[in-house]
Amino acid sequence: MTTPDLNTPPKRSGRSGFLLLAGIAIVGVIMFAIFYYGILHPPSKRAESGQAPDFTMTTYVSDPLPPADLQPALNDLFGSSASSYCVKDVNNARPAEYDQVDIRLSDLKGTPVVLNFWASWCTTCKDEQPLLEQAWRRYKGRVMFLGLSHLDQDKNARAWLQCYNVTYPNALDRGGKVYNVYHVQGVPETFFIDANGNVVDYYVGAFPSAGVLEQYIQKALSPPTSQE
């Protein structure tokens, strides 16, 4: 009876070696595919400089919502704190100056623009909205303010505008088209466009104070630097 030699290393099967090489090859193919995809699909970059992407918006109707629709919407948006956010004349119609009109960004060249992305379901937009309206009333005639609501219901968005008595043009960003072309990351987010139609800066999140908003508006108002 022979005794097996325990010092002899076991033979490695050819199948194991083949599987190892195949695994390495598959990993290599996957890494190449990821690299190639990254070249063809670079990460989305926010429109933070250069010519602002053009768009057309159709503003919300200014007629007040019927009380039967308004109050439930306000309750959904603000709950028991609605009275602390809304103006006292919440049932009145908003100014009809921008009632269902088409506004094209490129037609505003010559006037700086503050472009704000918001939504009625956005919690942090609540304290920012009065700051935007106050700034609009202060700069009206020198700076145009535009608001685009994102993924919003018409009834809720109109209740929001009625609650704050927003008087600058606002519209639904249908299908998120403008949101996507500006590569917005969330709401609220605001872009500042100078009189030449160039994005000079942007702000992510809600403005904490009127002073901060003022600083950004001044950037849009500043004369563009000459390029030699």
HSE at residue 80, side-chain half, CA atoms within 13 A, is 0
Same domain, 169 and 101: yes
Same domain, 181 and 214: yes
Question: Does residue 188 have a cis bond before it (omega within 30 degrees)?
Answer: yes
User: CA-to-CA distance for 196 and 221, rounded, in angstroms?
Assistant: 10
Residue 51, strand partner residues: 198
Identify the residue whose tokens are 């020198």: 142
Same domain, 95 and 180: yes
Please, what is the Cα angle at 68 between 63 and 70, to 5 degrees? 50
Lowest model confidence (mean pLDDT) among 22-36, 131-145, 153-167? 22-36
Same domain, 83 and 137: yes
| pLDDT tier at 46, thresholds 50, 70, 90 | very high
Greater pLDDT, 30 or 57: 57
Same domain, 25 and 57: no
- Give yes or no for residue 99 having a pLDDT over 80: yes
Average pLDDT, the chain: 87
pLDDT value of position 224: 62
pLDDT value of position 25: 60
CATH number for the domain that contains residue 84: 3.40.30.10
For residue 202, count other CB atoms closer than 10 A to its CB.
18
Same domain, 89 and 112: yes
Q: Tell me: the pLDDT tens digits for 175-208?
A: 999 999 999 999 999 999 999 999 999 999 999 9
Instruction: Give me the domain span that covers residue 135.
Output: 50-221
User: CA-to-CA distance for 126 and 119, rounded, in angstroms?
Assistant: 9
pLDDT value of position 209: 98
| pLDDT tier at 28, thresholds 50, 70, 90 | low
Nearest in space to 70 (alpha carbons), one of 94, 41, 104, 40: 94
146: phi then psi, degrees, rounded to nearest 5: -130, 135
Percent of the chain scoring above 90 in pLDDT: 76
Do you know the residue count of the chain? 228
Nearest in space to 204 (alpha carbons), one of 36, 47, 10, 37: 47
For residue 42, count other CB atoms closer than 10 A to its CB.
7
User: CA-to-CA distance for 133 and 165, rounded, in angstroms?
Assistant: 8
Per-residue pLDDT, averaged over 156-173, amounts to 98
Identify the residue whose tokens are 């909205």: 129
Element (H, E) at 189: strand 189-193
Greater pLDDT, 73 or 36: 73
Contact in structure between 190 and 212 (CB atoms under 8 Å): no
Domain count, the chain: 2
User: CA-to-CA distance for 98 and 108, rounded, in angstroms?
Assistant: 14
| pLDDT tier at 228, thresholds 50, 70, 90 | very low
- Give yes or no for residue 29 having a pLDDT over 80: no
Same domain, 20 and 116: no
